[in-house]
Structure 1
Amino acid sequence: MKLATTVGRLGNARLWLPLIAVALLPCPLAAQETRDAQQTRDAEDAATAHASWEAFVAQSEPTEWIDAPAASAVEAGDPYDVVDEGWEPLKIGPFQVGGAFRVNYIMKDWDDAYKDLGELAFDTARVNVDLDKNRMTGSFEFRYYQDKFADGHDYAMIHHAWLGWAFDDQQQVQAGVTKVPFGILPYASHNWFFQLPYYVGFEDDYDLGVKYIGAFAPWNFQAAYFPTDEGNYFGDSGDSARYSYDLVREGPNGNAERNQFNMRLAYTMEHREDYSTEVGVSVMAGGISNDNPQGGSGDRYAVAAHLVGNYDRWNLMLQALHYDFNVDNDPNRDASPDGSFVVFGAYDAFYYVASEATVYTAGLAYTLPVDWQRVTSLTFYNDFSLMVKDESGFQNSLQNVVGCAVDAEPLYIYIDLAMGKYHPWLGGEWTTSLAEGGDNGSWHARFNINVGLYF
């Protein structure tokens, strides 16, 4: 089916179920196994932008729900990142240099090696370089992950890399590997693991292209064109050696994302001081290339509606999205010639994902200010997500994470208990959990403490 036909099907997306129904779904305690920091929470990434950009930042990322210092970032911005007075950023001319080191303590109920005392393991090392010169801005982040799959090599990858130009305090254009404007920004989750949309390419996703941001309060409009995904620029492994989850040329299908268009429109209602509600819609449409000899081009689309409420110390995030990937596979290959699933990958591993599904997410958080030595706040949260697959016989996937984030600059700590069902990172069958589901339909849990040192 060609792109025009696909776009015409947007109205068929079963997206417009009441968002509030998501919040009423049962929320088991939660925990999840992200590929070793794979779920490395960008929730502390934060390059900085100069003070003249503060007004723009406040509008370009209106969903930030934790008070940030005056030096928060534009698109690489992080609602959790706080620059402590004793940890001044390193500035070299127009550049600001920073980074982080993170470690995990892990317990998994499905793995005997983790059941007794758990395991303390290295998570991530990263370096950030941010540019601020007159109207030119930019941000670069490179990450390193330790080998967790005993396959002979570690993983290094670009997280993002873009240059931007500010037309004024309300408009900016960015070019490079930049965040895809879709759904709740900057994240649809409060925890270290993200929500289920991350694992199917719709949360904290980065691609290679050009993006426009217009922050005209109370409106925020973003549009982008990505001729290709961010690709695998480093490493000696497969196409999936990347940060963001995308279609990859691995496994049976050999597909890749091409010529993607995104538009996102959000409106923020200011009720009174410290009380606001953002509502928004997002649209994505793009093509799919196929490197199989007998395969052909395909197309894909996604739509989403979201609500973000900031009510004093409370934050509420609701989102529903529907996606559809129409692939033209080689019928001589042994997997999914009917297009019932596609192959996604990141962190140098791939798995199968249902070609069409609706994903509901709901997150609630409460931030408690404290004064305990360096600890300035505790944020308690519960994030739930449900993936309803359209293919008959496919099992729905679920994830729930309950936890607490501790802000103790220069440390930021996530304490998470997660559960998942038909989830590749939470005890499910690795290859098939996000597609047909597999035979393992039990709930599995992971307890995780992530400690990050940010500088």
Structure 2
Amino acid sequence: MPLPATSRFTLSLAALFCIFAEPAMAVQVTDNLDLGGAIRGRWDYDPDRNIQNFGLDTFWLSAKYTSDTWIGEAQYRFYGRSYPYRYTKNYGDIQFAKLAWVGYKFNPEQQVQVGLNTVPFGLQPYFGSTFYETLGNVIGLEDLQQVGVKYIQQSGDWNIQAGYYLRPAWQGKGTTNGVTFSSVVSEADSYVADGSDNQERNTVVLRVAKALDLGLWKSEVGVSGLSSSLENRDTNNDGRRNAVAVHYLGKNGPWGVQLQVARQQMSPRNPGTDELVTLGGYDGTYNVASRGNLYVADLSYDVTGKYLFNQVSGVKLYANYSAFDKSAKAFKTSERMILGSSFMVSQLYVATEWMFGKNDPYIGGSSYAQSLGAGGTDHWENQVYVNVAYYF
């Protein structure tokens, strides 16, 4: 008699815990160079779509170099075979780089990074506390990496970051035109109706943030701006992508608040409709409304102490809401809400999230290719997501 899904998940999690319960340890090659990586498993549960899956999520290798002057980081990821990539035969059939940059520190307050690095836009490093990330990720603004040069300067309470990026990340190995870690402007695959073929080039970005105290809240307020060209390979005409954001980050004891409002406005020169731009990532491509506002609100609480024979620690509870309100009147607003927690179990990092989505390409089976464009099923769906990671 087959075990129920919850029992299979419990046994799989226990097995993973036993395998990786030894102390995590990166390989320190020299005093400056560390080699490491991660192995992550995931559990997806959505009874409405008969999804009850536990399997290998990601394997990646990483390298970090740090000295008084020279710095650098590289990370390469592998996916495949397990859900949601069961259409591939082997693990590693999908693979791509997240980071590959070298940098120089002029002094402790000033540095420059060259290569595939994180674009400094909005709340950093993510638009909230969630593991799954917000809708800002899938519209191409959150956790975004491109190839170029970034300058960082800390002057007292002020943090200034400026970047110039020649192009998005290089395409990795996969089955579609969207084989990158970041969600970037891409050539549409054949299954994307009203898809486009644009290339993003010459991205200029500036982020200015200031740390300050607002009563009992240790805070940061900031503003970001991004502008790039969109080269359409069908019309050979250039459009533009512009985005601006204002953000707030606050911490008061165990409580944390993150707020952000962003405006993205793309003016492509497509042969068809200019109301849509195709983006891609994680081995897929989909349409995004060319104009819209992104709203993000995140509330978190850190639970101190250790539990269950001192094996559970670093507990964090959080609630995150994001919405992409599109300018085109007929387009339906995309929304995502995540209630979750993250914690350490010995050397394992665990994130458990109850996710709700409306016109969300990744949650609840709405239209993958059109939810962020004209919209999908236009009603709320939900599913449970658990990620278990061992970092070495």
Candidates 353, 356, 364, aligned match of 1:419? 356
Candidates 253, 257, 260, aligned match of 2:203? 260
1:91-129 Cα deviation digits (max 9, x unpaired): 1123101111110111014412x2xxx211210001110
Question: In the alignment, what sits opposite 1:285?
Answer: 227
State how far apart, in whole Å, the 1-side matches of 2:249 and 2:353 are. Answer: 22
Candidates 11, 24, 33, aligned match of 1:95? 33
* Alignment of 1:306 onto 2:250: no
Deviation at 1:424, TM superposition (A): 0.7
C-alpha contact 1:103 1:122 (8 A) present in aligned 2: yes
Question: In the alignment, what sits opposite 1:352?
Answer: 287
1:205-253 Cα deviation digits (max 9, x unpaired): 0000000000112000000000111120x31543310100011022331
State how far apart, in whole Å, the 1-side matches of 2:249 and 2:136 are. Answer: 16
* Alignment of 1:146 onto 2:80: yes
1:287-310 Cα deviation digits (max 9, x unpaired): 011111x34111110000000001
State how far apart, in whole Å, the 2-side matches of 1:409 and 1:208 are. Answer: 37
State how far apart, in whole Å, the 1-side matches of 2:112 and 2:346 are. Answer: 32
C-alpha contact 1:309 1:315 (8 A) present in aligned 2: yes
- Equivalent pairs counted in the alignment come to 358
Question: In the alignment, what sits opposite 1:242?
Answer: 180
C-alpha contact 1:109 1:445 (8 A) present in aligned 2: no
Question: In the alignment, what sits opposite 2:3?
Answer: none
Deviation at 1:149, TM superposition (A): 4.8
Question: In the alignment, what sits opposite 1:451?
Answer: 388
Question: In the alignment, what sits opposite 2:110?
Answer: 171
What is the Cα-based RMSD across aligned positions, in Å? 1.7
C-alpha contact 1:161 1:176 (8 A) present in aligned 2: yes
C-alpha contact 1:109 1:444 (8 A) present in aligned 2: no
> Per the alignment, in what secondary structure is the counterpart of residue 122 of structure 2?
coil
Question: In the alignment, what sits opposite 1:334?
Answer: none
State how far apart, in whole Å, the 2-side matches of 1:145 and 1:236 are. Answer: 9
Question: In the alignment, what sits opposite 1:128?
Answer: 62
C-alpha contact 2:315 2:341 (8 A) present in aligned 1: yes
1:404-452 Cα deviation digits (max 9, x unpaired): 10123421100100000001101211111000003x1221111011100
Aligned structure 1 segments of 4 or more residues deviating by more than 2 angstroms: 84-89, 151-154, 236-239
State how far apart, in whole Å, the 2-side matches of 1:216 and 1:98 are. Answer: 32
Question: In the alignment, what sits opposite 2:42?
Answer: 104
Q: Which segments of 5 or more consecutive residues in structure 1 lack a partner in the other structure?
A: 1-83, 331-336
289 and 110 in structure 1: CA distance in 2 versus 1, 3 angstrom threshold = farther
Deviation at 1:261, TM superposition (A): 0.1
Deviation at 1:341, TM superposition (A): 0.6
Question: In the alignment, what sits opposite 2:192?
Answer: none
State how far apart, in whole Å, the 2-side matches of 1:300 and 1:444 are. Answer: 31
Higher strand residue share: 2
C-alpha contact 1:417 1:447 (8 A) present in aligned 2: yes
Question: In the alignment, what sits opposite 1:211?
Answer: 150
> Per the alignment, in what secondary structure is the counterpart of residue 424 of structure 1?
coil
C-alpha contact 1:98 1:128 (8 A) present in aligned 2: yes
Question: In the alignment, what sits opposite 1:30?
Answer: none
C-alpha contact 2:229 2:240 (8 A) present in aligned 1: yes
State how far apart, in whole Å, the 2-side matches of 1:270 and 1:200 are. Answer: 32
Question: In the alignment, what sits opposite 1:29?
Answer: none
Question: In the alignment, what sits opposite 1:48?
Answer: none
1:358-394 Cα deviation digits (max 9, x unpaired): 0100000000012122322210000001110001200
> Per the alignment, in what secondary structure is the counterpart of residue 304 of structure 2?
strand
Deviation at 1:338, TM superposition (A): 2.5
State how far apart, in whole Å, the 1-side matches of 2:133 and 2:47 are. Answer: 20
State how far apart, in whole Å, the 1-side matches of 2:383 and 2:156 are. Answer: 41
State how far apart, in whole Å, the 1-side matches of 2:129 and 2:361 are. Answer: 20
* Alignment of 1:406 onto 2:343: yes
State how far apart, in whole Å, the 1-side matches of 2:346 and 2:100 are. Answer: 26
Question: In the alignment, what sits opposite 2:18?
Answer: none
279 and 156 in structure 1: CA distance in 2 versus 1, 3 angstrom threshold = same
One-letter amino acid of the structure 1 residue matched with residue 249 of structure 2: V
Question: In the alignment, what sits opposite 1:342?
Answer: 277
286 and 215 in structure 1: CA distance in 2 versus 1, 3 angstrom threshold = same
State how far apart, in whole Å, the 1-side matches of 2:48 and 2:327 are. Answer: 28
> Per the alignment, in what secondary structure is the counterpart of residue 367 of structure 2?
coil
- TM-score scaled by structure 2? 0.88
